[in-house]
Amino acid sequence: MGDVIVITSGKGGVGKTTTSANLGTGFALLGKKVALIDADIGLRNLDVVMGLENRIVYDLVDVVEGNCRLKQAMIRDKRYESLYLLPAAQTRDKNAVNPDQMEKLCKELVQDFDFVIIDCPAGIEQGFKNAIAGADQAIIVTTPEVSAVRDADRIIGLLESEGKHNPKLIINRIRPHMVKKGDMMDIDDIIEILAIDLLGIIPEDDYIVVSTNRGEPAVANPVSGASTAYKNIVRRLLGENVPLMKIEANDGFFTRLKKVFNF
Amino acid sequence: MREYVMFKGSRNGLQLVLDDSADFTVILDTLKAKLESAVVFFTKGTTVEVPSKVRVLTLEEQQDLAKLLATYGLIFCQTTEEPDIVEEVSATMEKVETLFVDKTIRSGQEVLYIGSVVITGDVNPGAKVIAGGDVIIKGACRGVVHAGAYGNADATITADRLLASQIRIASLIARAPDHLEQPEYTERASIKDGNVVIERVDI
């Protein structure tokens, strides 16, 4: 029996899908059997970020409505043997699925997989309720912005009222030089308000844009800063004790990184 | 937006005042959302009166309402009384027990109580605490706090770190200055000479 983890945030654009793709790939790189579920019905993205868009035949709604078997809808990633994706439907909306159906689906998947990772849509409506229904662990993604932190706080409250306690926090897109100058919320400010366990921090990294467009999760790239951060998070989720990345302003780092990729 | 559903403190517990023109299904949905957002704060077994002077409910509607309230552990009770007037409530305040909340109140959550409220934890931005009596926060207060919400002008708000965006006591509203200094000591807000005043308290 594995774990069902939902990646959620409330606010859009903070990196839920990127985080789902990278954590899923990260687990798969360590040989874990992973199922990624895109719960963002109608605005599916995870398949694009994973580079699996052209292999979709059946989707989540087909499974729920009984048009196909679950195994038929699971897309196996050729690059990573143990990684599977259950894509969302693009032509339907969030009301095509209900929380009971999602819970049942997760229960079925968790029998076969070490980790089931659910990419939650933005917002707190039906899509959110569906996404969290079957999860036994939640990871909240936020960025160092007041609005994102506010929404994260709301989400933590909603998770609590659904009986899902102790979510973990990922702070995404930290810009070290801005934190150093005091222009950006720092980690301590965010933790003080949200008061939940910090799972990891991810530096702002241009390579994420490249990897998203190419459909290759950044975690597979050994030189990217975000890749190291995601790898650390994966190891922490597996119970290893990995210290937090140092967020020191290192002006040379991004410049060096750019040189590596020639842009 | 108009408030279709309002909870008010009353002698026997809570009073539910329903909009007289809104569709009943709208009322049920609104009520459900309200209960959902504050579910832990409605003490189980509290009687909820629905004054029939404001909105007359059919038998079927009454049953629906009773069923919904029951899922949150609340007891439905139809009364023919006038909705309680604010003053009456504050007169009975002394008899009401204090509510102790032992957790952080997060954005979107609301604590609503007829008497005084003591919160051990933070009140985060976007959260609301509305109390008939005093509010005491053992933690940082960054949300909106309303003490003496039913007209008690003697109510006070005390917080270990009072960083509230807005403080309301009885009918007065005070807004935080745009550049708030961060106090490292306990402060108390009260009404003095018709103004909301914040003072340092030493414990």
Q: Could you report how far apart the first and last alpha carbons of chain A are, in Å?
A: 45
DSSP letter at B154 equals: T
CA distance A67 to A102: 16
Q: Quick check: A156 contacting B, CB < 8 Å?
A: yes
Cβ–Cβ < 8 Å for B98, B62: no
CA distance A21 to A37: 10
For β-strands A3-8 and A115-119, DSSP reports them as parallel
| pLDDT above 70: residue B75 | yes
DSSP letter at B121 equals: S
CATH number of the structural domain B89-200 = 2.160.20.70
What pLDDT is recorded for position B54? 61
b/e per residue A196-234 (b: at least 16 CB within 10 A): bebbbbbbbbebbeebbeeebbbbbbeebbbbbbbbbbb
CA distance A52 to A58: 13
Where in chain A does DSSP place strands (E)? 3-8, 34-38, 75-76, 83-86, 115-119, 137-142, 168-174, 197-203
pLDDT in tens, A72-107: 999 999 899 999 999 999 999 999 999 999 999 999
Fold of A3-261: Rossmann fold (3.40.50)
Give φ, ψ of B123 to 5 degrees.
-110, 110
Residue appearing with tokens 């007891």: B75
Q: Do B107 and A161 touch (CB under 8 A)?
A: no
Sheet with B172-175, edge to edge strand ranges: B110-113, B128-131, B144-147, B166-169, B172-175
Give φ, ψ of B33 to 5 degrees.
-60, -40
- Predicted ipTM beyond 0.85: no
CA distance A23 to A15: 12
Average pLDDT of every residue of chain B: 81
Shortest Cα distance from B172 to chain A (angstroms)?
26
Residue from B42, B124, B165 whose CB has the most chain A CBs within 10 Å, to mutate: B124
| pLDDT above 60: residue B55 | yes
b/e per residue B85-112 (b: at least 16 CB within 10 A): ebeebbebbeebeebebeebbbbbbbbb
Q: Quick check: A13 contacting B, CB < 8 Å?
A: no
Which residues lie below 8 Å from residue B110, measured CB to CB, with a gap of 6+?
Answer: B37, B38, B41, B127, B128, B129, B130
CATH number of the structural domain B5-79 = 3.30.750.50
Residues 226-255 of A with CB under 8 A from B: none
Shortest Cα distance from B161 to chain A (angstroms)?
13
**Of A21-35, A114-128, B54-68, which range is least confident?**
B54-68
Confidence of residue A254 (pLDDT cuts 50, 70, 90): low
What pLDDT is recorded for position B35? 77
Average pLDDT of every residue of chain A: 92
Task: Report domain extents, chain B.
Answer: 5-79, 89-200
Q: Quick check: A161 contacting B, CB < 8 Å?
A: yes
Confidence of residue A40 (pLDDT cuts 50, 70, 90): very high
What pLDDT is recorded for position B33? 80
CA distance A206 to A150: 26
DSSP letter at B127 equals: -
Residues 114-143 of B with CB under 8 A from A: 122, 124-126, 140, 142
Question: What is the value of pTM for the model shown?
Answer: 0.75
Average pLDDT score over residue span B7-36: 76
Cβ–Cβ < 8 Å for A77, A84: yes
Percent of residues, chain A, with pLDDT higher than 70: 94
What pLDDT is recorded for position B2? 61
